[in-house]
Structure 1
Amino acid sequence: MQPVSYAAAAEPSPDLTQRTVDTLYRRIGLRLLPLLALSYMLAYMDRVNISFAKAQMQTQLGLSESVYGFAAGVFFIGYVIFEVPSNLLLAKIGARRTLSRIMVLWGIASASMLFVREAHTFYVLRFLLGAFEAGFGPGLLFYLTLWYGPERRARVMAYLLLASPVAGIIGGPLSTLIMSSLDSAAGLAGWQWLFLVEGVPCVLIGVLLFFVLDDSPQQARWLTAADKELIAQQVSAGGPARHAGLAGVVRDWRVYALSFSYFCMISGLYAISFWLPTLLRAVGVTRPMAVGLLAALPYIAAVVTMVLVAIHSDRRREQRWHSSISCLIAAVLLFVTASNLHNVAFALPALIAATGAIYAGYTVFWAIPANYLKGAAAAGGMAFINSVGLTGGFVSPLIIGGIKDMTGSLQLGLSVIAVLLAVGAIALACNRVDSGR
């Protein structure tokens, strides 16, 4: 007897159909999201763990603030150069091979950071880390668009991107624990152990991805034919996307405007990520373990705001205003932080709230291009937006590090980043990409 497809079933009740969809997506979520979120969390930890290694590396290697700022940012140059080719390759050869290859190579590069002895080696390894990791973030987001329809995307992307603040919550205490407990073991400094311990698991998880991921729902043996048909219906719901090919993307000014807004957003996000331990020391927190523990608080706030804003965005089926207003709030709070760096009672709560707001805007943002683009346009277009945006991760550490070297203070650099974040939020609010006009 042939299985009855969902499409051919005789007039199922709306409640029954919705329960069927919800049950299917619970299975999909349990199958995909834990491993993908773990992978994304490790990516974020390897990207920003130099913020915790910074103090030891500067003391032992004699690195200036400008050297640190350039090394933190040069990661994004490698990432940007190889981002679009990596995602186009994903669309051709599939997620399984692409994501596995990316993870194994960046794990090797991250662990190799223990060999840094001077600035040039520092720069080269950070560049390679970015080049090898290129395409991973937007690749995961594109992969989710193959499984989830428009009405679920903001929420499921929020669940995946929650891995970033969770990495911040775990990363601070874990990094300080590794450096303090393993310092001088086997002749290696604490910061060297940090890169080794946090790099090797990425290689192992990368190998695991190759064996457990399916390139698409249609290739998943654990789904029935009826399941696959229902997923296809969900993914295609909401009407056709604005672009299905790359040619339309490169001629669309709205895609460039989205890229600019994302650049401003990333400038603010990584200003916090790369300088959070330094900011905490600037407001008077000096003990290493206290820095590690307090560094978790902004990311705890981010977890809460990401979930709440994403759920509200999905219920209202609106992303642009949710993202832009969140980023504008973050800009104001970041300016408050910069203006009160020597007053912990004002600076620390403002910094915590700013982190929560910017992560909320960042999460909802990605549902906008996911709904606007389709097929090759989604893979290449999301990679292009991410590439342009991530140059903000290169620019903001340079701005803050350079200004700090010149003035001895973080205040002016943070204020510049706050203004940039506000400009990006206003540009996003004015970009009526969701209306198509």
Structure 2
Amino acid sequence: MSIASNAGQAGSMGMGAAAPASAERAASAYAKVTRRIVPFIVLCYFFSYLDRVNVGFAKLQMQQALGLSDVVYGIGAGIFFWGYMLCQVPSSLLIYKLGMRRCMAAIMILWGLVSAGTMLVTTPTEFYVARFLLGVTEAGFFPAAVMYLNKWYPADRQARIMSILFLAMPLGMVLGGPISGALMTGTHDLHGLQGWQWMFLLEALPAILLGLLVLRMLPESPQSAAWLTPEEAAAVSGALSAENARKSSRLVDALKNPILWMLMAICLLFNIGNYGLVFWLPTIIQSTGMQSPLEIAFLTAIPYGVACVVMNRNAAHAERSGERRLHTAIPMLVAAAGMWASTLFPHNTVAAMVFLTVGVSGLMATLAMFWGLPGRILAGSAAAGGIALINSAASLAGLIGPVLMGGVKQWTGSISIAVLVLAALMLAAALLILAIPKRLMAAGAVR
């Protein structure tokens, strides 16, 4: 009895010592992963987002130079998402089979070349073709980035990581706005080209260079990461294997899950607001009385600068508390309220900017929380196809949002009414988020 008791005590002590050691290895591993791969992916996504939305800044010169109407511009801005949406699922499944790193590298080089080529458009048709091809070439990048991060982080760590990844979006406006405005102003008529043409060329080059670096910077798996110890790699792989065993791993099973379709609906609604705002925010600010492209670009940066802080604070608090429903829905309710309030001050730049900042901050906070959800129910090919389907809804929203804004503005003569439509869609998204079962939002849940 004494021997058994001693053995039991020793076993308990061994298990007690092993648990902290395992937790310490996992913490060390994820700290390294976050330092090594996340900043590079964020940088790549930054230029993906910038090359997608810089047409909103180009509009300030391009529309008059090419004689584009508001509706033509809206169609051109949105037609990007036709190519993006049509190629989303097939490109994602292909990426899953061929390997994410190689495909990400090819995607970045191709979209950089197409984005640079936009400087050559002279007619509405050429504008449409350039935007469509940009959508085709960019289609696989975001799903590939999300799938790649899913190979490293379990679901309970993904909200915080997604909030870091989505820094690329507000930073695309915070840094991209002033950069675009400065390029357009400083290069206008340089060597016979207009400022918007130089902007498309110069902002496309980093995507090509980063594409050449992808294979060097991103390891294929934890086991192939030379900067992880074998124990750390095993800790990451073990956590993912245990979690993935409880998820849908076949696309056909994922398609039967009503939560997938609910996530698609939510993604569609709030991204109509997101993309409508992204492509028209410079014009909204201009309508308050501002005229200088550079000043408008700097003002556009303010809401997204604040959003960077709000988005990460919200995700960090959600991770600490384990509560996800309110951390996802309340920011969207705040976004809807902010957009509505901004329409009350159509000729007051300061007041409009305050409420636009509230709206953008709420939208970005929800966006980061939302993209942590697919990884809670999907793995393997189901993750590849399911994430692509959800992102296809975002692509459809990108097609609808800019055209909706342009159409409502042209038909009513008021951009404020168009903003109110976006606010209503954000409210609907918030209500759908609250309808997601609590068990999906709970810490540790995967079904």
Asked if Structure 1 and Structure 2 have the same fold, meaning a TM-score greater than 0.5 normalized by the shorter chain, the answer is yes
Q: 1:108-119 residue pairs with structure 2 within 5 A? A: 108-119=113-124
1:230 has 2:235 as partner: yes
Deviation, structure 1 residue 371 = 0.9
**Hey, what's the Cα distance between the residues in 1 that align with 2:245 and 2:288?**
51
- Contact 1:77–1:391, Cα closer than 8 Å, also in 2: yes
1:113-167 Cα deviation digits (max 9, x unpaired): 0011010000000000011000211211111111112221111111111111112
The answer to whether structure 1 residue 325 and structure 2 residue 364 are counterparts is no
Q: How does 1:81-120 map to 2 (within 5 A)?
A: 81-120=86-125
Task: Please list, as runs of the form range in 1=range in 2, the aligned pairs for 1:144-159 lying within 5 A after superposition.
Answer: 144-159=149-164
- How far apart, in 2, do the equivalents of 1:405 and 1:313 lie? 41
Shift of 1:10: 6.3
Pick one of 252, 257, 265 that aligns with 1:252: 257
Task: Choose 212-221 or 345-354, whichever is displaced more.
Answer: 212-221
Q: What is the RMSD computed on CA atoms of the aligned residues?
A: 1.7
Question: 2-side partners of 1:365 and 1:261: how far apart?
Answer: 9
Alpha carbons of structure 1 residues 237 and 364: separation in structure 2 relative to 1, 3 Å: farther
Dislocated runs of 4+, deviation >6 Å: none
TM-score, with length taken from structure 2: 0.92
Kindly state the Cα deviation for residue 22 of structure 1 after the two structures are TM-superposed: 2.0
Shift in Å at residue 240 of structure 1?
A: 4.3
CA distance in 1, matches of 2:246, 2:195: 50
Deviation at residue 354 of structure 1 after TM alignment: 0.5
State the SS of the aligned residue for 2:122. coil
Runs of 5+ in structure 2 lacking a partner? 1-13, 441-445
Match of 2:213 in 1: 208
Deviation per CA, 1:353-388, whole angstroms, max 9, x where unpaired? 100000000000011111111111111101110102
1:243-392 counterparts in 2 under 5 A?
243-392=248-397
Deviation at 1:416, TM superposition (A): 1.1
1:60 counterpart (54, 62, 65): 65
How far, CA to CA, are the matches of 2:116 and 2:155 in structure 1? 38
Could you tell me how far 1:20 is from its partner in structure 2? 2.7
Is the contact between residue 149 and residue 236 of structure 1 (CA under 8 Å) also seen in structure 2?
Answer: no
**Comparing 323-332 with 72-81, which one deviates more in the overlay?**
323-332
Residue equivalent to 1:12? 17
What are structure 1's unaligned runs of at least 5 residues?
Answer: 1-8
In structure 2, what is the equivalent of residue 402 of structure 1? 407
Q: Kindly state the Cα deviation for residue 347 of structure 1 after the two structures are TM-superposed.
A: 1.6
C-alpha distance in structure 2 between counterparts of 1:427 and 1:145, whole Å = 25
Letter of the 2:374 counterpart: P
Residues 1:165 and 2:196 are matched in the alignment: no
Give the corresponding residue for 2:425: 420
Given that 2:29 and 2:228 are in contact with CA atoms closer than 8 Å, whether structure 1 keeps it comes out as no
Contact 2:25/2:231 (<8 A) preserved: no
The answer to whether the Cα contact below 8 Å between 1:260 and 1:389 also exists between their aligned partners in 2 is no
1:185 correspondence with 2:169: no
Relative to structure 1, the CA distance from residue 374 to residue 213 in structure 2 (aligned partners, 3 Å threshold; closer, same or farther) is same
Contact residue 56 and residue 278 of structure 2 kept, 8 A: yes
Question: How far apart in 2 are the matches of 1:228 and 1:14?
Answer: 17
Q: How far off its partner does 1:317 sit?
A: 2.6
Q: Corresponding residue for 2:135?
A: 130
Could you tell me the percent identity over the aligned residues?
Answer: 37
1:218 and 2:258 equivalent? Answer: no
Q: Which stretch shows the higher mean deviation, 358-367 or 325-334? A: 325-334
Match of 2:318, as an amino acid? S
Q: 1:16 deviation in Å? A: 4.1
TM-fit CA distance, 1:206: 0.6
Return the TM-score normalized by structure 1.
0.94
2:38 is aligned, of 29, 33, 47, to 33
In structure 1, give the amino acid aligned to 2:426. Answer: L
Decide which structure has the larger Cα Rg and report it.
Answer: 2
C-alpha separation in 1, matches of 2:126 and 2:368: 34
Distance 1:112 1:168, change over 3 A: same
Aligned residue for 1:187, secondary structure, equals: coil
* Deviation readout 1:50-82 (Å, 9 max, x if unpaired): 111102111111111101101111111110100
How far apart in 1 are the matches of 2:241 and 2:144?
A: 19
Summarize deviations over 1:170-227 as a string: whole Å, max 9, x none: 0111001111111111211100000000011111111111333222223334433322
Whole-Å separation in 1 of the counterparts to 2:115 and 2:309: 30
Please state how far the C-alpha of 1:241 moved relative to its aligned partner. 3.9
Q: CA deviation at 1:315?
A: 1.6
**1-structure distance, mates of 2:222, 2:323:** 27
User: Is 1:194 the counterpart of 2:193 in the alignment?
Assistant: no
| Contact in 2 for aligned 1:372/1:434 (Cα 8 Å) | no
Q: Does 1:42 align with 2:47?
A: yes
2:292 is matched by which residue type in structure 1? R
Selected match of 1:176 from 174, 181, 201: 181
* 3-state SS, counterpart of residue 343 of structure 2: helix
**More displaced 10-residue stretch of structure 1: 342-351 or 165-174:** 342-351
CA–CA separation in structure 2 for the residues paired with 1:404 and 1:75? 21
Cα offset, 1:345, TM superposition = 3.9
Q: 2:81 aligns with which of 73, 76, 95?
A: 76
